[in-house]
Amino acid sequence: MWSPEHVNSAPPRLGDTRLVAVDGPTGAGKSTFAENLAGQLGAQLIKTDHFATWEDPTTLWWPKLTRVLDAIENGQEARYRLTDWSAGFPREDEGQEVTVHPQRTIILEGFSSARKAIAHQLSLAIFIEHGDERQRLERVVARDGERHRHHFILWQQYERGWFAVDETRARADYVVTSS
């Protein structure tokens, strides 16, 4: 059974920081869960939506995020610029700048946040589930607009393949069903 207290008992694996990944499919409730958890723990929240785009759900932006994680692991402050996932990658000098400080806990939320590539740095991996794929599609279309429906359908197809290959749910420390 999941409890936020599990975070404090997990060992730090990103230098002195506990990195907690909140992963799962689109529309499952990852953002709400992660925002609540970050608030309860006084943790900084980093979202994969700050990096990814429709055209690149998981790959080209990943080195940008790993530079942030590497800096935190070494006890250093890191910075990155927000990407508008629906509009594509900005130039390096565009987008709001975000500063990340080494601290007790950082929550990394979003699709592919608990990927195998950083499993050794994660203190906890939480996989969020909600309903079936069709229900989740309707949730995200209601949230982000009908104009994105086609993109979300393609995104869900990509997610199915990603989760199967990465074995994300099977490797999660906790699986949480959202409401």
Q: 141 with 93: CB under 8 angstroms?
A: no
CA 19, CA 23: separation in Å to the nearest integer? 13
Q: CATH number of the domain that 53 lies in?
A: 3.40.50.300
Evaluate whether residue 106 is within a structural domain.
yes
For the chain, the domain total comes to 1
Q: Is the pLDDT of residue 90 over 60?
A: no
Evaluate whether residue 1 is within a structural domain.
no
* Residue 145 in tokens: 């607009």
CA 57, CA 9: separation in Å to the nearest integer? 32
Per-residue pLDDT of 14-52, as tens digits, reads 999 999 999 999 999 999 999 999 999 999 999 999 988
pTM for this model (two decimals): 0.94
Alpha helices in 84-177 (DSSP H): 133-144, 149-166, 168-171
Least confident of 47-56, 106-115, 158-167: 47-56
Mean pLDDT of 83-103: 74
Evaluate whether residue 9 is within a structural domain.
no
Q: Kindly state the DSSP code that residue 12 receives in the 8-state scheme.
A: P
**Degrees, nearest 5: CA angle 13-99-81:** 110
